[in-house]
Amino acid sequence: MTAGAVTTVAVWVGVALIGGIGSVLRFVVDRAVARRVARSFPFGTLAVNVSGAALLGFLGGLALSKEAGLLAGTAFVGAYTTFSTWMLETQRLGEERQLRVAFANIVVSVALGEAAAFLGQRIAEQF
């Protein structure tokens, strides 16, 4: 096996392991927040996605190597954050005729996510 093939296998294994950790952490954080704030607004998903945006902004500001960026950004943060759950929860709020809450979920998530990514990047630039 060549050195390039070993690196590729190691990266794939890393993506699987680190992605698994990210998805488990997403579940833990979402449930912890949802238990504390029992409302129709999906605060657990919001907390996960905003913290993930901050972390991804931070990682983006660090100028990581291609492999480190793949493992930290794509594997961990990609598995940690959840666009699909955010959209499903928004769609369900719409089905339940909670249109203001659904609209607020979109606006608040995008605004806080953008701000968090910007802040994370600015913090990383200080290193």
- CA 78 – CA 75 distance, rounded (Å): 5
pLDDT in tens, 5-42: 667 888 889 999 999 999 999 999 999 999 998 788 99
pLDDT in tens, 34-74: 999 878 899 999 999 999 999 999 999 998 998 898 899 99
Predicted TM-score (pTM) of this structure: 0.89
Q: What is the DSSP string of 74-91?
A: IIIIHHHS-HHHHHHHHH
Residue 82 clears pLDDT 70, i.e. is over it: yes
Count of C-beta atoms within a 10 Å radius of residue 14: 17
pLDDT in tens, 92-115: 999 999 999 999 999 999 999 999
Count of C-beta atoms within a 10 Å radius of residue 42: 25
Q: Does 78 show up as a binding residue in the annotation?
A: yes
Tokens of 123: 């913090």
* Residue found under tokens 């690196």: 7
